[in-house]
Structure 1
Amino acid sequence: MGVTGTLIASVLSQRLVARVQAEQFERQQRVAEAQWRREQQVDELARRREGYMNVNAAFRRYRTQLMNFLWHVHKGAVTPEAREVVEEARRDHHSVLAEAQMVASPAVLSELDEMTRTLSETYRRTMCLEEGNPDPDGSFDEIRADFVRLWEQWETMRGVMRADLGVGDDTTTPPATTP
């Protein structure tokens, strides 16, 4: 009986140790997986933050250059250089927007798409005015009013971006002076 007990004890002891080791291994795996998920979330947040910052900067530059171009149109002083500056800002905006679209949340993507539509329409109206073929509601003053609406739309988009990044309440900055 004593020998049998000794033999059974060693078998049970080995099984118990194996079970403890398996549970410990599973815990380590869960901890490693949780840490990996946290790192992925941090990386994703950093990518979104960078994308949103870049698209905001590109939007502001494009809007500013388009406003400047509208002023050149109004003054009758459009030069090839002025046109190239606005086109460069437009290309940059499209490039940065394409990158941001790959990382943006659905809510931000919706705002980006709407902003791009509005900005594209303002660009089109400005170019029609410059070419001497303005829309019926495409006067200098009416297009200039579009820029105020663009700024308001940008503030909304920025708020959605900030919420997506988990940033607290947004204090809006006053719109830049429009031409």
Structure 2
Amino acid sequence: MSSFMSISHNLKPSILVSPSLHHSSSFPILLSSKQPFSLTHPLNLTRRIFLPSVSGIWDALTGANNNAREALLAIRRGMSLFRQGDVSGSLVEFDKAIQLDPRQKAYLWQRGLSLYYLNRFEEGAEQFRFDVAQNPNDTEESIWCFLCEAQLYGVDEARKRFLEASSCFYF
């Protein structure tokens, strides 16, 4: 068996991750290209990555929405501020991204993390629920929504409200 693990989700790319390459502090996830692209291992793109990227590229090419590019820059600034410990500043940037391009809200799980760490659990749960509505197979957002709602309603009630997400893992 290979030392690489293939993980496949319905709406997420197949990723080959080497345990020796994974570092919890790394961002974005380190990908391995050890296994060649083939028809049996096609490159899968998620809606989370594909739609915002394509819409941003299309807008840039057509000049239809210059705000999309600025929104993506605001998201990058927000992620950087979050990593630096400026959670409030990150939220300002994520909100700015939504103001510039409302399509981004469906994919801004990072905003939900900022809301959680600012103890704004109701808004955080709402953000994660919105994200899961757009991407129902996203396990992480379901867990973060649970954590927000556990703070609001207690663990038992949060468990009742838990968002089921289906994932497939292949080892």
Give the TM-score, by structure 1 length: 0.28
Which protein shows a greater Rg?
Answer: 1
Higher relative contact order (CA 8 A, sep 6+): 1
Q: Tell me which protein shows more strand as a share of its residues.
A: 2
Q: Tell me which protein shows more helix as a share of its residues.
A: 1
Give the TM-score, by structure 2 length: 0.29
